[in-house]
Structure 1
């Protein structure tokens, strides 16, 4: 969620602080191109679809982000 005032929950269901993502420094992959963008905001990691920047964002705690990255590297989410 990208607007202040909305309740955000991490992947584990824990309430997250009310993060203002409007002014976040969104970054794309290592080549600077891609649909997925991330931003580091107030100790949390937000991820969004770069083609729909006004859409919702997924917010991770640092532990959730680490688990996501480790599992992605291990092929956990490979759909091919």
Structure 2
């Protein structure tokens, strides 16, 4: 689900982020919000806690390694 804004959130980037060209994440009441650090006023993707856990599990298991 995409929303145009998400106010009042505390955004963070991975420590490996170089030069601010990163994905940023923030905890919400219902899950996680994701945005592009280069365009912080742009669209925000919202994920439920269950969706986010599934994504992280897949990333940890290498399910997306073929994308890079």
TM-score (norm 1): 0.67
Unpaired runs of at least 5, structure 2: none
Q: Structure 2 matches for 1:1-80, cutoff 5 A?
A: 1-3=3-5, 21-29=6-14, 31=15, 33=17, 35-78=22-65, 79-80=67-68
Moved over 4 A (4+): none
The number of equivalent residue pairs is: 62
Query: Which has the higher relative contact order, 1 or 2, with Cα contacts under 8 A spaced 6 or more apart?
Result: 2
SS at match of 2:35: strand
TM-score (norm 2): 0.76
Q: Which has the higher helix share?
A: 2
